[in-house]
Amino acid sequence: MNQISRAESGADGKTEIRKTTCYMCACRCGINVHMKDEKVHYIEGNRDHPINKGVLCAKGSAGIMQHYSPARLKKPLLRTGKRGEGKFKEIEWDEALGLATDWLGKVRSTDPRKLAFFTGRDQSQSMTGWWAQNFGTPNYAAHGGFCSVNMAAAGIYTMGGAFWEFGAPDWERTELFMIFGVAEDHDSNPIKMGLGRLKERGVKVIGVNPVRTGYNAIADEWLGITPGTDGLLILSLVHELLRAGNIDLDYLIRYTNAPWLVIDDTDAADHGLFARDEDGVALVANRETGMISASTLPGLKPALKGSFTLGDGRKATPVFELLAKTYLDEQYAPDAVAGRTGIEAATIRRIAAEIAEAAFEREVVIEQPWTDMKGERHERMVGRPVAFHAMRGISAHSNGFQTCRALHLLQILVGSIDCPGGFRFKPPYPRPVAGQPRPHGGACADTPLSGPHLGYPRGPEDLLLEADGETAERIDKAFSWDAPLSAHGLMHMVISNAHARDPYGIDVLFLYMANMAWNSSMNTTSVMDMLTDTDENGDYVIPKIIYSDAYSSEMVAFADLILPDTTYLERHDCISLLDRPISEPEALCDSIRWPVVEPDRDVRGFQSVLLDLGARLKLPGMVDEAGKAIYKDYADYIVNHQRKPGIGPLSGWRGENGDKTGRGEPNPEQLQRYIENGGFSMVHVPEEAHFFKHANRAWSDWAITHGLQDGPVENIFQLYLEPLRKFQLAAAGKVKPVPPEHQRDRIRRCFEPLPCWYPPFYEDGLEESEYPLHAITQRPAAMYHSWGSQNAWLRQIHGENALYVPGAICDREKLTDGDWALVTSPSGQIRVKVRRMDAVNGSTMWTWNAIGKRAGAWALDKGAPEATRGFLLNHLIDELLPPKGDGRRWANSDPITGQAAWFDLRVSIRRDPDQSTGHSLPETQAQEGPAASGPETVRFGLEKAQ
């Protein structure tokens, strides 16, 4: 059906509807953009779209104000003042691209490591990563390292997928839903729609979060947990389920490594690794005879407990035996964890019983035959209807990887992964580590990298280290001993490390849509200082900064060269299966954005600019043998680029005739076909492949046919994660490479192959009496990161923020609503307005994220409430942990993935003795332009916006 436009009668003419994809958050809903006289008139949800089915939130509806924001950049800019002042002159594109080519070309021809290219919340990371790979710098990543890499990496390593883009709850069948650490910004419309279905069906919803807002406010039960202790709560639930025998043993035997044998040979270099045969296949023991055999043999009845003798005479123990021994320990008993988590022991026991009751007494059966990967035929699909969802709240801690692993373990133990009523994978997932690339480094002048930057190490042998076996290759220290499994990089460490020249300095910092000078860095004040710091010669420590953004953000003021981007309604974009897909569990989906309106400024889509730069630099894959550009622009790339034969950015309407999906030759009419179909492609998964995708032959065959994988991929859920054990062996000096001495204890302690819990690092050496409180942020439903504050409609909802303080703390500190308070951490102090709140963990204060702004940014008036009364907690956080006295720079991150530990923050609070000053602190000097302040009153009518 042609959905591009239809005529509608209006008071003064015809209105045309153009269908595209929203970009007011990461949900990527389908929208209908109503156009009148080539002006955006109104935005509503697209009822035909698979993601939102017509539902649109406040952000999406307010996209019209984003598009017409007075903060939009108008032309390329070259800095004329000092960094941070915001003083620029307009230049032409030829000069801007010439400067960028000159700066980048010098780096590539000498030392590509000297370019650090990092992107923020763009949705074209497969393309930007490909560009950086061909440039040859090892220093590329996007924002995942300070968002939710712990959730993603823990899920991939454990089961081949995770929440949000990787999978979703079975909203129609689940009988119990638990949500951990989820604010209202990610996947918001599908979650709201799903919660609505649960409410309609009377399904209980349990919210686990220190703060009761949004989804947690409508939950049937709220657990106000102490920040950083979610893993302890989850493992206590595991303790109770094991103690009562409420686990799905058949599921564990079929789909997990629970029966795999772990070598027990204390002095050996393979102690704690899996016993394998000569082909590398994991071994199991027959539960009746004790005979050792390959785990892949069909019809096995493997043992889950006991000790067995291997062919070489050594002992080995099944994973499940180790698991049960670990979690039945009394340290995980509800009484032992209640005090630390803030959740009563009786509540933990009751919820464990509720999980078991829903999973095992209300099982869901679908009469659908299917065949597993071993060839065994099953006549029906049986599900354990308990579903979970989690995001940044449990991820952004220094113990977040193990906490996320613990949650996946909980789901697996009750058998609720990709079954009716449980968590369901979305295509192209599941994709276990076996189907993922390893990280690549090894920069050489004028040479592309041999593979993608980001990947999934299988052990220490895959780290990106210099010849000494200790020094990181990458500027962010990803895939080094600091953060071995940093699948998304460590964007939050780039500026800090480059400034410290640790492990080396850089020449060019190239950023896209990453407001690193404000809310996208951990400590805003120190990062602004780093960006403006000079060396002994008076030169900037970071010599060149190129930045691309559509708006006059805080980061713009610190750049040397600005390449202005378009708004999301003026550009081509590709929401690709190669990147961050929008599929649903029963449908393979991807989508596009396209220019529903042409820019009225001298701006260009960043991806097209990047391809232009690539051609000017003669990068492989971007020029032909004659040195001419292969791609005209990003739209041309989307249609004609092939990552491998037949596989391109978009899956729909491939092949010369547009009759293929997933695999097929480029189709010159592909984008037009997407536009005609409402901006998306959707192909349904066969019913036989709807569930158990990790072990379903029909799914495997369908995925191969549609280009999601090249061949069958073994996906055995990893309860016991062998790569972590390999790092422990390296720390013990039993395998090479060996970590530096100062890293070894932390690796031995934190890299347990079974999920574990340890206190957040921020608390090490911290006097609890000095900083007794936790402080965290929540993402408001009506804002998405910093760019929402330029939006005239959304500012009316969140024009300033307050710090919400538990009532008992207010009473103790004599704080009342509207008082100014001083909040202090080891890294700084802020002055904020407070509000009393009782629906919050008793030792936790919180505020809305990214509301505070630097005066002069985003075309806001310098006296705007965001700049005078708004604030960021970032001023209290630091990229580094408090000094330990050893002279080392310890990142404030998860030691396994490098995830930024935002939510480990500890603070104190007191009433400001001076209540007369009506301004939040710190008060940063205002930046000039480059966008002039917007009008005092915004009028939007049928004819124009102003």
* Rounded (5°) CA angle 909-911-917: 120
* Distance (Å, whole) CA 91 – CA 104: 19
Q: Retrieve residue 834's tokens.
A: 């407070």
Closest CA to 559 of 100, 12, 158: 100
- 630 pLDDT band, cuts 50/70/90, is very high
The arithmetic mean of pLDDT across residues 225-254, rounded, is 98
* Residue 643 pLDDT: 95
- Could you report how far apart the first and last alpha carbons of the chain are, in Å? 36
Tell me: the pLDDT tens digits for 716-742? Answer: 999 999 999 999 999 999 999 999 999
Question: What is the reported pLDDT for 13?
Answer: 55
Exposed, middle or buried by CB within 10 Å (0-12, 13-18, 19+), for 414? buried
pLDDT at 785: 78
* HEC secondary structure over 121-185: CCCCHHHHHHHHHHHCCCCEECHHHHCCHHHHHHHHHHHCCCCCCCEEECCCCCCEEEEECCCCC
Residue 7 predicted with pLDDT over 70 = no
Q: Angle formed by the axes of helices 334-341 and 230-244, to 10°?
A: 160
Angle at alpha carbon of residue 876, lines to 550 and 776, rounded to 5°: 80
Please check whether residue 513 is in contact with residue 900, taking contact to mean a CB–CB distance below 8 angstroms: no
- Per the CB < 8 A criterion, the answer to whether 910 and 821 are in contact is yes
Which segments within 705-750 are labelled E, that is strand?
Answer: none
The residues pairing with 683 across neighbouring beta strands, listed in sequence order, are 588
**What would the mean pLDDT of 278-296 be, rounded to a whole number?**
96
- Amino acid 32: pLDDT: 97
Of all residues in the chain, the percent with pLDDT exceeding 70 is 98
Is it true that the peptide bond before 780 is cis, omega within 30 degrees of 0? no
DSSP 773-784: EEEEEE--TT--
Nearest-10 Cα torsion for 172, 174, 180, 185: 0
Least confident of 2-6, 59-63, 662-666, 817-821: 2-6
**Is pLDDT above 80 for 621?**
yes
What is the sign, positive or negative, of the torsion defined by CA atoms of 356, 361, 367, 371? Answer: positive
pLDDT at residue 716 in the model: 97
Please state whether beta strands 204-208 and 176-180 pair in parallel, antiparallel, or not at all (unpaired): parallel
CB 12 within 8 A of CB 175: no
Alpha-carbon span 39 to 704, nearest angstrom: 44
Given the DSSP bridges, would you call strands 828-837 and 803-806 parallel, antiparallel or unpaired?
A: parallel
Peptide bond connecting 930 to the previous residue in cis, omega within 30 degrees of 0: yes
Q: What is the pLDDT of residue 4?
A: 40
Query: Is the pLDDT at 456 greater than 60, yes or no?
Result: yes
pLDDT tens per residue across span 346-375 = 999 999 999 999 999 999 999 999 999 999
- pLDDT higher than 70, residue 835: yes
When pLDDT is cut at 50, 70 and 90, the band that residue 10 belongs to is very low
Rounded Cα gap, residues 154 and 408, in angstroms: 8
Residues 929 and 473: their CA atoms lie apart, in Å, by 38
What is the distance of C-alpha 400 from the center of its chain? 13
Instruction: Specify the pLDDT at position 9.
Output: 38
664 neighbors 646 (Cβ within 8 angstroms): yes
Cα-based distances in Å from 328 to 237, 305, 334, 911: 11, 14, 11, 46
Give dist(CA 260, CA 255) in Å, integer: 11
Q: For 500, how many CA atoms within 13 A lie in the half-sphere containing its CB? A: 19
DSSP letter for 764, please. Answer: T
Supply the pLDDT for residue 1.
28
Reference 795, options 195, 70, 266; nearest CA is 70
Q: For the chain, give the number of residues.
A: 946
Residues 907-930, mean pLDDT to the nearest whole number: 94
Task: State how far the Cα of 875 lies from the Cα of 698, in Å rounded to an integer.
Answer: 52
Looking at 185-189, 576-580, 606-610, which range is the least confident one? 185-189
Residue type, 82: K
Picking from 140-154, 372-386, 406-420, which range would have the lowest pLDDT averaged per residue? 140-154
Mean pLDDT of 672-683: 97
d(CA 675, CA 556): 33
Beta strands in 652-718 (DSSP E): 680-684
Q: Is the pLDDT of residue 12 over 70?
A: no
CA distance 429 to 411: 17
Q: Which of 659, 663, 662 is nearest to 673 (CA)?
A: 659
Q: Would you say residue 115 has pLDDT above 90?
A: yes
Cα gap 526→528, rounded to integer Å: 5
pLDDT score at 941: 61
d(CA 714, CA 361): 31
- Residue 875 identity: H
Q: Which long-range contacts (CB under 8 A, 24 or more apart) does 172-175 make?
A: 172/197, 173/364, 173/383, 173/385, 173/420, 173/421, 174/198, 174/203, 174/385, 174/386, 174/387, 174/421, 174/422, 175/203, 175/358, 175/362, 175/364, 175/385, 175/386, 175/421
Instruction: Look at residues 599, 609, 520 and name the one whose alpha carbon lies nearest to residue 567.
Output: 599
pLDDT of residue 444: 96
Q: Which residues of 36-59 are buried (b: 16+ CB within 10 A; e: fewer)?
A: beebbbebebbebbbbbebbbbbb
3-state secondary structure at position 262: strand
Sheet holding 7-10, edge to edge: 7-10, 13-21, 30-36, 39-45
pTM for this entry: 0.97
Q: 620 with 136: CB under 8 angstroms? A: no
* Pairing state between β 377-378 and 370-371: antiparallel
The three-point CA angle 64-65-69 to 5° equals 125
Whether 146 and 366 have beta carbons less than 8 Å apart is answered as no
d(CA 630, CA 638): 12
For the beta sheet containing 204-208, the strands, ordered from the edge strand earlier in sequence to the opposite edge, are: 221-223, 204-208, 176-180, 386-390
Q: What tens digit of pLDDT does each residue of 483-539 get?
A: 999 999 999 999 999 999 999 999 999 999 999 999 888 899 999 999 999 999 999
Per-residue pLDDT tens over the stretch 843-863: 999 999 989 999 999 999 989
Q: Is the pLDDT of residue 221 over 90?
A: yes
pLDDT band at 8, cuts 50/70/90? very low
Distance from chain centroid for Cα 22: 19
